[in-house]
A = this chain, B = another copy of it.
Amino acid sequence: MKRDQSLDWAVVDQDLGPDLILFKARYDHCQHPESGRVLRRLVLESVDWVNLVALTADGRCVMVRQFRFGVGYSTLETPGGMVDPGEAPLAAAQRELREETGYTGGEWTYLGAVEPNPAFHDHLCHHFLATNVVPTHDQALSGGEAIRVDLMTSEQVRAAVQSGELRHALALSVLARVFDLWPRPFVHTAMPAPADAPRRLQS
């Protein structure tokens, strides 16, 4: 993997920031590669994440809906979650699918990993495809979760993407490796209406 090391900033110091439930904040004191100026930069430390496309034998996609605290509404997404310490990403993906939806089994393929945002996140999100999954369990949700399972055809998934109902970047990322999501040339023209903006109660 090619990296341009002439762009690298040296980390000359670090201090730890607050624990943010999902992340630990860290501040790296980094030196500009040309000016030598040192700036304090945020890093959000976490374990890796996983998400997955799970297909039943008749080609339907096992999707989830849940309230998302960042945006303040319920979203349609792919199953996924955090990799437990010491857990393999594949095992985490299989566990999250079982816990969130009750589906297990099937054949699993690794679809590669993405950086959710390398500007401040230090982790990867690993993508998987599971085919021929079967409903074998009840949901096993934590007290902090309320998740509804939706079985959708690939046409329904594509329609949800095209309408903007599904626009979680990491769910789109894994879905795009399985389904043809985007017409090319792309046809979007409208900007989101103000009523569609994220709800901000206080700032």
Contact = CB atoms under 8 A, between A and B. Distances in A.
Contacts of A120: 22, 69-70
Contacts of A198: 115, 122-124
A133 B72 CA distance: 38
This chain: copies in complex: 2
Interface string A100-126: 000000000111111111111111111
Interface residues of A, number: 103
Interface of A: 1-9, 11, 14, 16-18, 20-26, 28, 30, 32-35, 37, 39-45, 65-76, 89, 109-126, 129, 143-144, 146-148, 163-165, 167-170, 172-173, 176-182, 184, 186, 188-192, 196-203
A130 B119 CA distance: 23
Contacts of A109: 186, 188-189
A55 to B, nearest CB: 12
Contacts of A189: 109-110
Contact of A192 (B44, B124, B180): B124
A3 to B, nearest CB: 5
Contacts of A197: 124
